[in-house]
């Protein structure tokens, strides 16, 4: 193993010194995004620190999101992801939001079919007895980076062919004159489950936002019930508040 000069130095409690040196090495570009970190054992050998000290420094960096640990393959410098700032007051689509930022959207379909609704879909979409639901579930990327998983359910009477959704769901609704004009959105914090984490390329259990959107036509009819998982490290939701009076 080549001696890594950036791992040695002095000042303050030992694990904090090590933590700072690793942070400095990242800030200075000595090691960058996606680079593997030497193993705890290697760092201990290189620095003459105990493995307990090394583990403590690394654990703090993992906690801070600077380092990512993948079971079986070690530790890596976390990608320094730019955050997307998203307004909470405009009823726009993912495609429109990303286009406004000059970003290119790609979607991978996870599910796109007509099927019997779950009780929650029947209730939320206000389906009549026997009415089917159209489901469109997608992994959504902007400029190649996976940002969200969106699972949309619509009354089959509104979306007869979910396979019509090849790019933007709202563009399809627009064409049919069924673009929602109002929506209620609920945002909650979650720790992402393993299968969603894998799709979004983040560690299982990482912080994420679960967003439920129920959208309505002018007539009051529900158009969509969408459950989305957004990466916690990629999104800021911003709302403007006004003093009511």
Binding site for ligand 16G (CB under 6 A): 93-95, 150, 152, 168-171, 211, 213, 224, 226, 228
Whole-number Å distance between alpha carbons of 56 and 80: 22
Shortest distance (Å) from residue 234 CB to ligand 16G? 13
CB 213 to ligand 16G: min, Å: 4
Q: What share of the chain is helix, strand, coil (3-state, %, to 5)?
A: 30, 30, 40
CB nearer ligand 16G, residue 49 or residue 105? 105
Q: 51-63 vs 14-27: helix axis angle to the nearest 10?
A: 50
Compute the distance between CA of residue 207 and CA of residue 191 in angstroms, rounded to an integer.
Answer: 5
| Helix axis angle, 40-47 to 51-63, nearest 10° | 120
What's 164's DSSP letter? G
Q: How far is the CB of 163 from ligand 16G (least distance, A)?
A: 14
Task: Kindly tell me which of 93 and 124 has the beta carbon lying closer to ligand 16G.
Answer: 93
> Of 19 and 213, which has the nearer Cβ to ligand 16G?
213
Q: How far is the CB of 169 from ligand 16G (least distance, A)?
A: 3
Give Cβ neighbours of residue 117 (< 8 Å, ≥ 6 apart).
Answer: 125, 127, 131, 132, 133, 153
CB of 150 to ligand 16G, least distance (A): 6
Considering beta carbons, is residue 40 or 150 the nearer one to ligand 16G? 150
CB of 96 to ligand 16G, least distance (A): 7
Q: For residues 53 and 95, which CB has a smaller minimum distance to ligand 16G in the complex?
A: 95
- Report DSSP state, residue 237: E
Residue number, 202 or 211, with CB nearest to ligand 16G: 211
Decide: helix, strand or coil at residue 54. Answer: helix
Structure tokens at 202: 């983040």
With beta carbons less than 8 A apart as the criterion, state whether 153 and 133 touch: yes
């Amino acid at each position: 193993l080549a001696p890594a000069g950036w791992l040695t130095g002095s000042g303050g409690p030992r694990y904090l010194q090590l933590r700072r040196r690793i942070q400095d090495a990242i800030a200075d570009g000595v090691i960058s995004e996606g680079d593997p970190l030497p193993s705890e054992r290697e760092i201990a050998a290189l620095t003459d620190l105990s493995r307990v000290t090394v583990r403590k420094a690394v654990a703090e960096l993992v906690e801070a999101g600077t380092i990512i640990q993948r079971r079986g393959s070690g530790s890596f410098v976390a990608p320094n992801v730019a955050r997307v700032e998203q307004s909470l007051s405009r009823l726009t689509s993912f495609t429109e939001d990303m286009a406004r930022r000059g970003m290119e959207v790609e979607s991978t379909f996870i599910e796109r079919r007509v099927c019997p609704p779950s009780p929650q879909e029947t209730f939320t979409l206000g389906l009549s007895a026997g009415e089917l639901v159209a489901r469109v579930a997608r992994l959504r990327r902007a400029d190649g980076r996976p940002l969200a998983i969106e699972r949309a359910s619509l009354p089959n009477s509104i979306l007869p062919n979910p396979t019509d959704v090849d790019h933007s769901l709202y563009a399809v609704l627009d064409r049919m004159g069924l673009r929602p004009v109002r929506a209620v959105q609920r945002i909650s914090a979650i720790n992402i489950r393993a299968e969603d984490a894998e799709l979004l390329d983040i560690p299982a259990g990482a912080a994420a936002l679960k967003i439920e959107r129920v959208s309505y036509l002018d007539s009051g009819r529900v158009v969509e019930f969408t459950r989305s998982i957004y990466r916690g490290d990629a999104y800021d939701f911003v709302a403007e508040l006004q003093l009511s009076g």
